[in-house]
Amino acid sequence: MTRVKLIGLTGQSGAGKSTAAELFKQSGMTVIDADALVAKIYESSSACLKSVAASFGQDIINPDGSLNRRLLAKRAFESKENTALLGAIVHPFVIAETLRILKTLSGTAVFDAPQLFESNMDAVCDIIVSVTANEDVRLSRILGRDSVTEEQARERIRAQFSEEFFRSHSDYTLENNGDISGFKARTSALIQKIKAEVM
């Protein structure tokens, strides 16, 4: 069986990766959403959730057994060390599920993963696309999108790789500092270019 061609889609929080992922999906490609996989893995009483609670506090598990996402995010983004610790626990579960899904696919797929590099999944990608934006733009978007304080949003930004890192480790970089229509046009053009390369 021919191995599926895998496009790694990543980027900074608030840069617009989800918009790019939706455009890849609309183009007909299968998109594997790492965040959705994490949500599935965090299901009540899962081995992953128990491991996370052991490191970040049993109170991150709600009385009904579900995950208190806001409390976990607060603790995980307090420092780069905590962010790395959470990743070290969760990434193996995500990788295993992603590889299982890939075995069922053919052609070209997109792995939409905010922590593509941290999980080392970039090593199995044929093409890597990163979405970036200036810090002030990302801060504004995070504050408008998530129920967090400015300091929490800045902690999240500081916990991630720099724009320079994404640029130097990617085959293509999509900037998203302006209007959404322009970003969508550039993303669509890149998708067509990639399709011509891999399909």
**Residue 77: per-residue pLDDT:** 86
The predicted model gives 22-47 an average pLDDT of: 91
As a whole number of angstroms, the distance between CA 189 and CA 199 comes to 15
The predicted model gives 20-47 an average pLDDT of: 91
Alpha-carbon distances of 12 from 9, 45, 78, 91, 162, rounded to whole Å: 11, 30, 17, 18, 8
- Domain parsing of the chain, residue ranges: 5-198
Topology of domain 5-198, CATH: Rossmann fold (3.40.50)
Burial 86-97 (b: 16+ CB within 10 A, else e): beebbbebbbeb
Name the band, by pLDDT with cuts 50, 70 and 90, for residue 46.
confident
Most confident segment among 54-58, 63-67, 150-154, 157-161: 54-58
**Residue 1: per-residue pLDDT:** 40
Q: pTM value?
A: 0.90
